[in-house]
Amino acid sequence: MKEILLLKDGEIVLKGLNRRQFEDVLKKNIRTTLQPLGRFEITSAQSTICVRPLSEDTDLDEACERIGRVFGIVSYSRAALCEEKTMASVLETAPAYLEKQLRAAKTFKVEAKRSDKKFPLKSPEICRELGGTILSRYPHLRVDVHHPDVTVYVEIRDFGAYVHADPIRGAGGIPVGTGGKAVILISGGIDSPVAAYMMAKRGLRLTAVHFASPPYTSLRAEEKVVRLLQKVSRYAGPIKMITVPFTKLQEKLRDDCPEELFTIIMRRLMMEISQRIARDNDCAALITGESLGQVASQTIGALNCTDEAADMVVFRPLIGMDKQEIIDISYKIDTYETSIEPYEDCCTVFTPRHPRTKPILKFVKEAQQRAGFEPLIEEALQNLKITQIQSED
């Protein structure tokens, strides 16, 4: 019995004249995701993408797991291809293919979708005939059209007839690469990997900028960020990681700026450097993991001071979320346990005892200008380290 994967488009169906472009990117992302598992034929029609393995020994369990992380797919099903597009073939295939689910269930129903209007039976007739066959094969079952334990789906399409059980929820969103490119300011904490995941879900291709301050931060802290990005890249695709040497800038900040403004000026320096890197890498936006009021540098006043240092759009997908909501997503994408490893990033270096929560932009800019950071910014930009991140899979 031949098996395939049927993938349902999500928001792509709303893209009008641009829909084909989105579908092409989605199919390319699917092909890249599945490439390590072998060769697949990928076609699309009627808001469904059909993924057909070209080898009998393909690991479809692993294929399903990978498909579940591809943005742009609202749901997917592992389905059996009927040998012929006939009712007799459907009646033969469905009870056998779904035997495990049907034996474990107490109730069921049948749903049919007949996209090929040339098929001789209409959808209600397909449901009635298949339902009768299933009841005769599994007499312990009863029909429940409202809350069944299992739903048997029959899809009669132009390119074949398929049967499957309840679809699995996909990653949603829109395909990575359809929303442009952006820089994510990535630390080793919980928030920024979640922010990266959420903006990749909106179609952004990511470049990661990480600030390292040896000897105040260790090599293990940087390696931790690499592992976090590997987990994010399972959803977001390949990510370029750019590490900025930040030690001299932070030491000058410590020596030449008021202590209560350390964090605000540090964030402004990060935004300015990240913006220059973004422009050099054809990125049109910055992304941060800030949440309103979570720490002193994330008050309205502090964010206003930070944003003034950049003139490109700054996305903050976590801005209205509380910490538990962020943690829940980090568990979902498997970054939480790595994020809480005790290797500190540069944001914890020279932390002020009493940070200013309502900074005045005029005084912040004056303190930054007096310190004269520009030569050190240029030096840092001349000594960037680039790491190409691939999924840990």
Predicted pLDDT at 352: 67
Residue 78, in any domain of the structure: yes
Residue 274, in any domain of the structure: yes
Q: Where residue 381 sits, what CATH number does that domain have?
A: 3.40.50.620
Average pLDDT over residues 206-216: 94
| Mean pLDDT score across all residues of the chain | 92
Residue 139, in any domain of the structure: yes
Examine the domain organization and report whether 136 and 219 are in the same domain. no
As for how many domains the chain has, the answer is 2
Q: Using H for helix, E for strand and C for coil, what is the string for 339-379?
A: HCCCCCCHHHCCCCCCCCCCCCHHHHHHHHHHHCCHHHHHH
Examine the domain organization and report whether 117 and 199 are in the same domain. no
Predicted pLDDT at 56: 85
pLDDT, tens only, 14-26: 888 888 899 999 9
Residue 176, in any domain of the structure: no
Examine the domain organization and report whether 236 and 131 are in the same domain. no
- The domain boundary, picked from 125, 143, 171, lies at 171
- The domain boundary, picked from 171, 199, 224, lies at 171
In order, the DSSP letters of 108-144 are EEEEEEE--TTSSS-HHHHHHHHHHHHHHH-TT-EE-
Q: Where residue 119 sits, what CATH number does that domain have?
A: 3.30.2130.30
Nearest by Cα to 116 from 63, 170, 159, 61: 159
Q: What is the pTM of this model?
A: 0.91
Neighbouring CB atoms inside 10 A of 63's CB total 22
Alpha carbons 383 and 239: distance in angstroms, whole number: 19
Pairing of strands 107-114, 73-81: unpaired
Residue 344, in any domain of the structure: yes
Examine the domain organization and report whether 148 and 194 are in the same domain. no
Examine the domain organization and report whether 165 and 222 are in the same domain. no
pLDDT, tens only, 215-260: 988 889 999 999 999 999 999 999 999 999 999 999 999 999 988 8
pLDDT range class, residue 97, cuts 50, 70, 90:
very high
Examine the domain organization and report whether 150 and 185 are in the same domain. no
Examine the domain organization and report whether 284 and 158 are in the same domain. no
Average pLDDT over residues 211-216: 91
Examine the domain organization and report whether 76 and 112 are in the same domain. yes
pLDDT at 291 over 80: yes
Examine the domain organization and report whether 46 and 160 are in the same domain. yes
Examine the domain organization and report whether 253 and 281 are in the same domain. yes
Predicted pLDDT at 218: 86
Residue 317, in any domain of the structure: yes
Examine the domain organization and report whether 120 and 213 are in the same domain. no
Predicted pLDDT at 140: 96
Domain containing residue 45: 3-171
pLDDT range class, residue 266, cuts 50, 70, 90:
very high
Residue 127, in any domain of the structure: yes
pLDDT at 356 over 80: no
pLDDT range class, residue 52, cuts 50, 70, 90:
very high
pLDDT at 331 over 80: yes
Average pLDDT over residues 27-47: 91
Average pLDDT over residues 378-386: 97
Residue 338, in any domain of the structure: yes
Contacts of 112 (CB under 8 A, 6+ apart): 123, 124, 126, 127, 130, 153, 154, 155, 156
What percentage of the chain carries pLDDT values higher than 90? 78
pLDDT at 354 over 80: no
pLDDT range class, residue 50, cuts 50, 70, 90:
very high
- The domain boundary, picked from 146, 171, 196, lies at 171
Contacts of 103 (CB under 8 A, 6+ apart): 138
Average pLDDT over residues 370-374: 94
pLDDT at 345 over 80: no
Examine the domain organization and report whether 272 and 140 are in the same domain. no
pLDDT range class, residue 379, cuts 50, 70, 90:
very high
Going by the DSSP 8-state scheme, the letter that residue 222 receives in this structure is H
